[in-house]
Structure 1
Amino acid sequence: MTIRQYRSVRQLPYSILSNCEDGFSEQLYAQAILLLSVSLTSGTGTTRDAYIPPPHYFSFLATLAVHPLLTTRTTDTAKQAVADDALRYLRHLIKLVGPKNAELDQAFRFTEAKRHAGSRNKRIKSRNSAGPDDGLQVDPDVIKSTYATSESLWSNADDFWNIVGWAFNCSVAYPHRWRRWKVWLEMMLDVLEIDLERHAKNVTVPQSMFAQYLAPFSDAGRNSKRNLMRALLADGKQKSLNEFGEIWQNETKAPKKAKDEDVVRKRKRNDLDLENGDFGDYGDESSDEDCNTAASGRRSRSATAKPSRAASPNEDSDSPMRDVESIGIDTFGGPSSLHIRGRLVALLVRLCSLDPAGAIFLDVEELFDLLTEFIRPLPLAVFEYFACPPQHYLDANAQSSLVQMLLRPLFQGSGAPNYDENTLTQDVFETCFAPFPAGTTSPSDNAKVSVAIESLLRLLWRNGGLVARQSLGDAVRQGIKARKDKVAWDGRRRVGVKALEEETAVEVLECSVERMESILELVSRSGAS
């Protein structure tokens, strides 16, 4: 990843910061965010410094961007616009000044100190500022909003992996919430990726934000690290929902439908008559009352807590559509969810590769072993996404190592040699991988082997590691025949989901064969030329 050149920053002048604080405290969110945005973007394209507020503002804005009362639990377009504005500001912040200059490592922390406003340092650090505002102190805890205190994301989520698990559960069970969590996670991954590469350049990886998010697992055993993998592969089923529950109480509930008289009352309240002292709903605290009510009834953040059933997860059904979903990528939230899961896997692999001793989390070999434990049993369509992804998240060496690791348990009992060097050459591919089926007669297992072999073939082809020779075609076609023979009909009649799974597996197997034959044809043509 190329390290961007970011703008230097200065602290916002006291007068502007005070206006922003007042705006947020009086629920004039749109106006306050606009003022922050103008201060940030002013002078873009020049050498002038960008003006930004203290880090706790970014914590606050990150909450606004995803909070249900501003997104999925309201039909008020003005509130929804506030959430969009907050997210847009954070994206501009990341692009223009970067995570380091914005001190996002301080803003996006899940610590006990962050949950108690009075414990924060009251003095704002100077950011290369000089001028009449030097020496003026702005209390970092003056945003008088429940979104900055009891309803803050950072005080409601146990840690980053609590959010990851819940968000991925939403991608399956609560799509309306996933649409919001998706854009929030994308923003966070941008921050974590940029921050990790900066620390890699400075050889300070343990100080990176991602390393800090992994800190609870550094000295923990394998079982604890499995918790992280369960978050990364949360599937929206009840067991996963019990472990990674909603961040805010009643988060998945639908918006309340306003009654006609409520609409009339609201219209009257919104009418301003300044001469007669009628200020409409200016300064009305009603929008924060819902937050206070939710906060007062907050449940403890236990693993057994269950989300609201108002927008219930997909239930088991005998319908054909449910059967199709049960074996497709929809079981893990579809392409958008798998895309973000892939980015997280890549981030884990990158961090572990930068920490060969595995002091932060695991060494790369151990990480791939843990990934294999969780990916190998996944539904075929999801397994295929990780083994032979449509978009590559890992570099060629890492992808090859992961695929080889995935093949080892699938090959057990197949007669394949026990190759564990992880390096990949054409000779190794022809001798140790291409000719072999799965160790079982399962169509799904053999389809998984086929897409994994195809992935290795693609990697060799894309990186110039294939030469046209008879032994290559012989090895690939020997494996194709062996896998087809393994899944030959054994006389037993399957029905329902089982029959559909086997039919789908056979189709995947056949499509994989066609793609490998196409690669062999390309290799042959390139050799002939």
Structure 2
Amino acid sequence: MASTAQKIDSDYRVAKSLPFELRQHCAIYFEEKLYSQALSLLLNLLTCGTTIHAPALVPAPQHLALAATILVHPSTTTQAKSKEEADAAGAALQLLRLTLELVGPISAKFDIAFTFKHFSSSRHGGQWRSEETTTSGFGFDDDETPLNLDVARSKSLWSRAEDFWHIVGWAFNCSVLYPRRWERWQTWLDFMCLAMEVDWMQRESAINADREGDLETVMKESLVWKFISTSHAGNGRDRRMLRAIFADGSGTSLTEFREVFKNELKELNQEDKTPSAKRRTEVNIDEDEYGDYLSEGEDDSDAPDKYTRTRAKRARVGTRASDPTVAETEAETKDLTDGDKLREEIAASGGFQSLALRQRLLALLSRVSNAMPKTFMNLDALYILYVENIRHLPLPVFQAFVSPTILPWFQPHAQSTLCEALLWRMRETSGPDSSDDYLNQKKLQECYLPYAASTASAVDNAKLSILLESLIVLLANNDLLRNTPILREAVITGNTRRIVKAEAEIRRNKASRELEDEEWTWLVESADRLLYLVQELLPMEGLSNDE
């Protein structure tokens, strides 16, 4: 694997471990809780060098693990009592990003740094090593022994969380309910997604360059596979990962994916926010003045949780109420523009940033499944799980996941596979099957476009129409679709079929008419877009896109 690693790292600076004295110096800063000084020193060491080919002094895995904790720990973020503590989180993010950019995740030993120890530490009574190796941070020179402070050990991210998917589930719960904590978890999760993506691409590039070695064997060393394989869920691992990605702040989701840090949602009271005389003291190491760095942390405080849940409420359209106040509120809701309603629905699911990160994780799992079907699971099984979790989402969220023009993280072939998997399970059973493995114009116009959903609800037929829009865009972007009479007829037939089917149900059922008023609008507008895409934007048969 050494030769492979060298080829993988060809675009990065050569990684060089910190000398023992510098590691010891950084350890002293961290153990005295002088986080900003320690991180600043590591940043200066990492970026020193006059040329791009100069070796980079890389932070030790213990430093990177601690930086990842500082990035989201309440004591340095939402519960920070001083500017110094708050600044440490920003410096930690800068160190992590620069390490990834300059030397890459493999040479930086992210796989060692980002190791969850929740269950291993529990089995050993919270002890990491024998007594002689944990009594002091001085003298260790290995990559796995954590630094000698609580936030690097029992209170670290890697000890508090059960595994990566515990964090994912809790982070997305925060995106729906706790915006202040989500702000921090979003940053952490964005970095981890980037690290996993770069790590995966490096290993793929190495395989392509060597043209030897088994892809599945090499990818077992990837960061994303480490997080998958070390999940504690056993036989229910795969479904638990999907539940984490689609965590929605519900009671069930909160029960399964609890807060990572103790009293993480605690709000600082006014007294805590007001700096005391001690906290205003400047740091002067020569004079043994450390300000508030040596004060006790607040992680174990028993103060009650003062965080309030702030789940965004979805607009209700078409309901009636005898209460004048309620009626007035509903009248205002009806006056909302389509854009306002869309934003409300998206906000109720955590916002676009949350949806983008969810899709990035789905895209990563798709790549793992494609490369490691024997070790992980095959694509068909994975996309069945995707369908189970996506098909019942609210319309705006559903559209965001399946449309190639809204969220960009799925590659075109993966986006097409997802849309087809949803279509097969939502389309009426009278539609024919196809022997073609890949999507093409013939398959689209014969198997998908002319048909309605298997149910008569406006929402299901609107979702089916949105899926067809996405497939047309995907094929057109790859110059695989032409405006032909057969295609136009298939679009018109399908539009009519879906609208008639949904309209009949609405006429029969007054409750459906009131509840699906907005969904009906989505269906009609999607039908109009389908016709416009085919008639106005696609090149005529026999012509190229340029013509």
Most deviating of 80-89 and 512-521: 512-521
Query: Which residue of structure 2 aligns with residue 429 of structure 1?
Result: 444
Query: Which residue of structure 2 aligns with residue 382 of structure 1?
Result: 397
In structure 1, distance between residues paired with 2:15 and 2:181 = 34
User: TM-score, normalised to structure 1's length?
Assistant: 0.84
Question: Aligned to 2:420, which of 404, 424, 438?
Answer: 404
Question: Aligned to 1:469, which of 484, 489, 507?
Answer: 484
In structure 1, distance between residues paired with 2:251 and 2:231 = 25
In structure 1, distance between residues paired with 2:353 and 2:312 = 22
1:327-364 Cα distance to aligned partner (Å, 9 max, x none): 8222321100000001001000011111133x2x2111
The size of the alignment, in residue pairs, is: 493
In structure 1, distance between residues paired with 2:88 and 2:464 = 49
Query: Shift of the alpha carbon at 1:254?
Result: 1.7
Q: For 1:244-393, list aligned pairs within 5 A.
A: 244-258=257-271, 263-266=275-278, 270=281, 280-282=289-291, 285-286=294-295, 288-291=296-299, 293-294=300-301, 308=305, 310-314=307-311, 328-357=345-374, 359=375, 361-389=376-404, 390-393=406-409
- The 3 A distance-change label for structure 1 pair 444 and 44 is farther
Query: Which residue of structure 1 aligns with residue 212 of structure 2?
Result: none
In structure 1, distance between residues paired with 2:166 and 2:285 = 48
Say whether the 8 Å CA contact 1:11–1:51 is kept in structure 2.
yes
Name the SS for the 1:51 alignment partner. strand
Amino acid at match of 2:32: E
Query: Which residue of structure 2 aligns with residue 301 of structure 1?
Result: none
Amino acid at match of 2:87: A
Amino acid at match of 2:370: S
1:94 matches 2:100: yes
Say whether the 8 Å CA contact 2:481–2:538 is kept in structure 1.
yes
In structure 1, distance between residues paired with 2:254 and 2:222 = 29
Query: Which residue of structure 2 aligns with residue 195 of structure 1?
Result: 199
- The 3 A distance-change label for structure 1 pair 3 and 387 is farther
In structure 2, distance between residues paired with 1:428 and 1:409 = 16
1:71 matches 2:88: no
Query: Which residue of structure 2 aligns with residue 512 of structure 1?
Result: 526
Name stretches of at least 5 consecutive residues in structure 1 with no aligned partner. Answer: 123-135, 299-306
Amino acid at match of 1:162: H
1:483 matches 2:498: yes
- The 3 A distance-change label for structure 1 pair 421 and 402 is farther
Name the SS for the 2:264 alignment partner. coil
1:458 matches 2:473: yes
Percent identical pairs in the alignment equals 32
- The 3 A distance-change label for structure 1 pair 335 and 272 is closer
- The 3 A distance-change label for structure 1 pair 364 and 218 is farther
1:207 matches 2:221: yes
- The 3 A distance-change label for structure 1 pair 68 and 512 is same
Say whether the 8 Å CA contact 1:74–1:256 is kept in structure 2.
no
Name the SS for the 2:57 alignment partner. strand
Most deviating of 348-357 and 72-81: 72-81
Most deviating of 56-65 and 72-81: 72-81
Most deviating of 58-67 and 329-338: 329-338
Most deviating of 198-207 and 318-327: 318-327
Name the SS for the 2:220 alignment partner. helix
Say whether the 8 Å CA contact 2:313–2:348 is kept in structure 1.
no
Name the SS for the 2:452 alignment partner. coil
Name the SS for the 2:269 alignment partner. coil
Query: Which residue of structure 1 aligns with residue 211 of structure 2?
Result: none
Most deviating of 240-249 and 516-525: 516-525
Query: Shift of the alpha carbon at 1:418?
Result: 3.6
1:31-54 Cα distance to aligned partner (Å, 9 max, x none): 111110010011164321001232
Say whether the 8 Å CA contact 2:484–2:540 is kept in structure 1.
no
Amino acid at match of 1:469: T
Amino acid at match of 1:150: S
In structure 2, distance between residues paired with 1:350 and 1:121 = 44
Name the SS for the 2:11 alignment partner. coil
1:181 matches 2:185: yes
Most deviating of 175-184 and 137-146: 137-146
Name the SS for the 1:10 alignment partner. strand
Name the SS for the 1:290 alignment partner. coil
Query: Which residue of structure 1 aligns with residue 322 of structure 2?
Result: none
- The 3 A distance-change label for structure 1 pair 61 and 253 is same
Query: Which residue of structure 2 aligns with residue 441 of structure 1?
Result: 456
RMSD of aligned Cα (Å): 3.2
1:462-519 Cα distance to aligned partner (Å, 9 max, x none): 1111122100110011111111111214154349xx83x5222122223322322232
In structure 2, distance between residues paired with 1:107 and 1:241 = 28
Name the SS for the 1:509 alignment partner. helix
Say whether the 8 Å CA contact 1:236–1:313 is kept in structure 2.
no
Query: Which residue of structure 1 aligns with residue 33 of structure 2?
Result: 27
Most deviating of 381-390 and 469-478: 381-390
Q: For 1:4-153, list aligned pairs within 5 A.
A: 5-43=11-49, 45-74=51-80, 76-111=82-117, 112-113=119-120, 116-118=127-129, 138=141, 141=145, 143-153=147-157
In structure 2, distance between residues paired with 1:216 and 1:92 = 27
